[in-house]
């Protein structure tokens, strides 16, 4: 993360918006990823670039997926099933699985 000595570089007083500097601020956000918008010496919002926002959401999703997997492992019976067994229970063959189109699951 960012060192505290560099935090001041990412603070934007709300008065800059009032002075018509929104485009310049948005350019700064695009370049650095974020800005803290301050009013009366308090952070009122944080502006994020779309890339920084997407990265944040991806990291949160990864965290929750890992947490869910840990919880499931903690409550599992310890029994492991092969792909062949799971496919047989579903009534499909491994050949059918291999012939199926690739699907991305999130």
Q: Is 52 exposed, middle or buried (0-12, 13-18, 19+ CB in 10 A)?
A: middle
Q: Whole-model pTM? A: 0.60
pLDDT above 80: residue 64 = yes
Predicted confidence band of residue 5 (pLDDT cuts 50, 70, 90): low
Q: What pLDDT shows up at residue 17? A: 93
Tokens of 95: 């050949």
Mean pLDDT, the chain, integer: 88
């Amino acid at each position: 993360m960012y060192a505290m000595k560099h935090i001041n570089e990412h603070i934007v007083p709300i008065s800059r918006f009032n002075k018509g500097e929104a485009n310049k601020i948005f350019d700064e956000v695009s370049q650095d990823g974020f800005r803290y918008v301050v009013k009366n010496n308090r952070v009122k919002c944080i502006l994020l670039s779309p890339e920084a926002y997407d990265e944040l959401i991806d990291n949160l999703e990864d965290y929750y997926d890992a947490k869910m997997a840990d919880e499931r492992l903690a409550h599992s019976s310890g029994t492991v099933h092969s792909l062949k067994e799971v496919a047989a229970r579903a009534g499909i063959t491994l050949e059918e699985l291999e012939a199926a189109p690739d699907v991305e699951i999130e």
